[in-house]
Each structure stands twice: as structure tokens, then as C-alpha cells.
Structure 1
Amino acid sequence: MRIGELSARTGASRRSLRYYEEQGLLVSSRSPGGQRHYEDEHVQRVRLVQAFLAAGVPSGTLVEMVPCMAEPSEGRARQALEIMDRERARLSEDIDGLVAARDALDRLIEDNRAYLTRSADGEV
């Protein structure tokens, strides 16, 4: 498939797909005319890259993981586990921070609702 079809199937812009290639996250073959060509498995790879990026995993970290995803071996599996453990810990910290912020926001919402209720009742 060509870049336009891969873009349509994944929701990634053509610009993003070219960026993924520049970073080494995606590899295409080229036609004699220089057009990029992708296989069906590239759809899953792009979706995986998008999921990691959406979770806040930096593209540089993904580049470190690519050899682990492309050609598994014992050494690469160890490398992948180290990288994934590090990213999981970072994501967990981010999640904990978001939960704390949401809890604080919930308390403020409740305080403001209580104030408005008292105000409507003429208690303020």
C-alpha cells in the first residue's frame, strides 16, 4: 500500500508517517519512482507507535525499542524489558500525579457545590 492508504488506515498523517521513517520507527520499500510502499503489518506497527506516543513515551525511547520489536533475541529481549520497565515506572508516576490532581479538583468541585447550595438557601 502507499503512504496515503496507510495514513487512511491508521489515522496518522502522511507527515507523521514520514517522521516515523526518519526516526527509524517504520521502514518502507520504495518503487522505482521513489514512492513509499508498506505492507499490512505496518498498520499494526503504526498503531503501536501511536499508542506509545499518546502515552507519553518519547520517540527517542521508541527508537531504542525498535530493534527489540523487529528482531527478537535474548539480548534484545533484556534490553526491551529494561526500557519497558523504565517507561512503565515513569507512566505510573504520571498516573499517580494525575489521580492526585483529579482528587484535588473533586474536592474543589464539592466545596463550590456546597457553597452554592448554602448561598441558594441564604446561609452565606
Structure 2
Amino acid sequence: MRIGELARRAGVSPRALRYYEQQGLIRARRTANGYREYSEADLKLVTEIRSLLTVGFTLEDAKPFVACLRAGHESGADCPESVEVYRRKLAEIDDEIRALLVRRAEVAGQLSTACPGCVLTKQEKT
């Protein structure tokens, strides 16, 4: 399939596909007239990349998942390198949550100081 069809089926722009190609995540074959040509396997790669990006992974994070799929695995998560990326990302998210909880407590404290008589709503208390 050509780049436009892959873009439409994957729900991305042709520009994004060219960028993924520049980053080494997908590889287009070239026809005699120079058009990019993609396969169903490329659609699976792009779908994997998009699903990872949607939940906060970077293109760099996606590389082990793409390599895993290229190696013939059914899922990009079937390889130890991908599992390690999941673990690292979860640790990053946990760190972000802890930092947000600290910031939240600081802002709630500042609100209490600024407005001693104010009653915090249930949402503000948690």
C-alpha cells in the first residue's frame, strides 16, 4: 500500500509516517517510480507505535516494541526489552504521581493559609 493508504488506515498523517521512517521505526520499500510502498506488517508497526504514544511513551521507547514485532513476535510486548521499557515507564509515572502529591499538599497548605476560614471541598482534601 502507498503512504496515503497506510496513513488513512493507521489514523496518522503521511508526514508522521515519513518521520517514523526517519527515526528508523518503519521502513518503506520504493517502487520503480520512487513511491513509498508499505505492507500489512508496517500497519501493525504503526498501530503499535501510535498506541504507545497515546499512553505517554516516546518514539525512543517504542523502538524495542518495533524490534520485537519485526523479530516475528505476535505482540511488541513479548520481548524482555519491551517489558523493561514498561517497567521504566511505570517507575517514571510513580515518580510523577509522588511529585504531584507533594505539590498538591503544598498548594492545599497555601490555600489554607490564604483563606483560614475556607472549607476545603472533598476534592480539595484528597
Q: Which moved more, 1:85-94 or 1:44-53?
A: 85-94
The TM-score normalised by the length of structure 2 is 0.64
State the alpha-carbon separation in 1 of the partners of residues 61 and 35 from structure 2: 28
Q: Which residue of 2 aligns with 1:67?
A: 67
Contiguous gaps of at least 5 residues in structure 1: 105-110, 113-124
Q: Which residue of 2 aligns with 1:119?
A: none
Q: Which residue of 1 aligns with 2:109?
A: none
SS at match of 1:15: helix
Match of 1:79 among 78, 81, 84: 81
Q: Which residue of 2 aligns with 1:34?
A: 34
Pairwise CA distance, 1:28: 1.8
Identity %: 31
Higher RCO by CA contacts (8 Å cutoff, separation 6 or greater): 1
Q: Which residue of 1 aligns with 2:11?
A: 11
SS at match of 2:79: helix
State the alpha-carbon separation in 1 of the partners of residues 33 and 93 from structure 2: 43
Contiguous gaps of at least 5 residues in structure 2: 106-119, 122-126
CA-based RMSD? 3.1
State the alpha-carbon separation in 1 of the partners of residues 88 and 42 from structure 2: 26
Note if contact 1:23-1:63 (Cα within 8 Å) is conserved in structure 2. Answer: no
Note if contact 2:49-2:66 (Cα within 8 Å) is conserved in structure 1. Answer: no
